[in-house]
Amino acid sequence: MIKVIIMAAGEGTRMKSDTSKVLHKILSKEIIRYVYDESRLDNSETIIIAGKNKNSLEEIFDGTRIIEQKIGEEYPYGTGYAISLAKDYIDDNDDVLVLNGDIPLIKKEALEDFVKAHKESGASVSVLSSIVEDPTNYGRIIRDGDNNFEAIIEHRDLRDDQLGVNEINIGIYVFKGDDLKSSLDKLDSNNDQNELYITDCIKILRDLGKTAHAFVNDDPSLFYGINNKKELAEAIEIMRKRINDAYMLDGVIIETPNTVSIEPGVIIGRDTIISGNVVIKGTTKIGSNCTILGSTRIEDSTIEDKVKIDNSIIESSYMEEGSDIGPYSHLRPKAHLGKNVHIGNFVEVKNANVGEGTKAGHLAYIGDCDLGSNINIGCGVIFVNYDGKFKHRSIVEDNAFIGSNSNIVAPVHIAKDAYVAAGSTITKDVGFGELSIERAEQKNIEGYTEKKRKRDLEKLGRRNDN
């Protein structure tokens, strides 16, 4: 079995945050969740070494073994001590993959290749390395004249003739289980930091005549560690590009990839066009041949084929084929638009079903109601659903016409082919084919303007006299 140990106890002081470093998010997903997901290899078990963030990690990784690395004068420090906390859960015949929890850009394939190379080599320990242009501050991989791995030397300990070495230690290792446990027992803190280092296990094993190898991965971007919020932003940009590139290669048209953010796990069909400052999150599924424009945000929603979305917000909602929304409209949770529904400018829909072909062109609130097919919702219509204590639903059947500036005060039932006159406040049911008008009688007063003008002049004259 492969035991995967993720070190996540560091406080990350350079993040300057009350949030643990590994709990910061990239595209709404915690840094450590990327590491956890990508390191779940076949026949593996994960152990997380936590710090003060233990409770938060337990909420995220329910059922995963999480061990707290306590901090204080009575406890040792260092990566070697952190790994030793998992020693009781390592069998002699295990392979143990050790990695840090702050490298969210890692890919499963890279870890699989590394573990495979380690097993084939028969080494007691293997180190993963990469080649970088600027190796400053990184530990270096030192090799002999035959290119065999000799040692890891920290930057501060390098000789002048070693400063040009640009093969760096990534901080990912694979040990044979029995060799790791025996070397951990021999660690000491006799160093300038007074800590127990996992890298010292490699020297211990080599001094015992055990074999150690270093394997190079040619893509250093996979091992980008995050220590501050500038690096977090850089990692977000890399992840965004990686995700967008994958969608484009799979047939999605992203006209502005630098301004489009799509979270991992979103599904998008071919020939869908995305352009603008678009954010797509959560469990969203988008069909083919859709058009998504402007400053649009879609979260946890299903969008079927040939839908158009323009500068709108969609949350936990469903849009059927051929429907469209926007600009500047909002589908709040549990909104369901049927086929060819039109939701126009500044319309809000919440917890409502809107039937096929129904239209609400502008400035309407459609909440807690069930609308049939081919209904016209006029400008300024409000479904009044809240009595101050409880929410109520209204029903409007097929082919009804709701005139502009009407209030539908729930609960009411408006039957098929019924008309609601503009400006009405409807508090009672409307029957099949009926016209409902609820407004005060209009009165036109002759000569009003002239009379008002005379009164205003008289008032002005009195003020001037005073």
| Full 3-state SS string of 359-394 | EEEEEEEEECEEECCCCEECCCCEEECECCCCECCE
Between helices 31-38 and 108-121, what is the axis angle to 10°? 50
* Catalytic, out of 118, 213, 336, 362: 362
Q: For residue 285, how many C-alpha atoms fall within 13 Å in the half-sphere facing its CB?
A: 5
Enumerate the β-bridge partners of residue 99: 6
**Residue appearing with tokens 């500068």:** 311
As a whole number of angstroms, the distance between CA 137 and CA 455 comes to: 86
DSSP state letters, 396-440: E-TT-EE-TT-EEESS-EE-TT-EE-TT-EE-S-B-TT-EE---P
In this structure, the strands spanning 149-153 and 140-143 are antiparallel
Instruction: For residue 327, say if its preceding peptide bond is cis, omega within 30 degrees of 0.
Output: yes
Respond yes or no: is residue 362 known to be catalytic: yes
Query: At CA 421, angle to CA 438 and CA 429, rounded to 5?
Result: 60
Q: CA dihedral in degrees (282, 285, 290, 296; nearest 10)?
A: -10
Q: Which amino acid is at 254?
A: I
Size (the chain), residues: 466
Could you tell me the CA-to-CA distances from 52 to 22, 64, 83, 84 in Å, in that order?
Answer: 12, 17, 17, 18
Q: Are 90 and 137 in contact (CB under 8 A)?
A: no
Query: Residue 135 belongs to what H/E stretch?
Result: none
What are 375's two structure tokens?
A: 């209904």
Q: Are 126 and 214 in contact (CB under 8 A)?
A: yes
Q: Which amino acid is at 184?
A: L
Residues designated as active site:
362
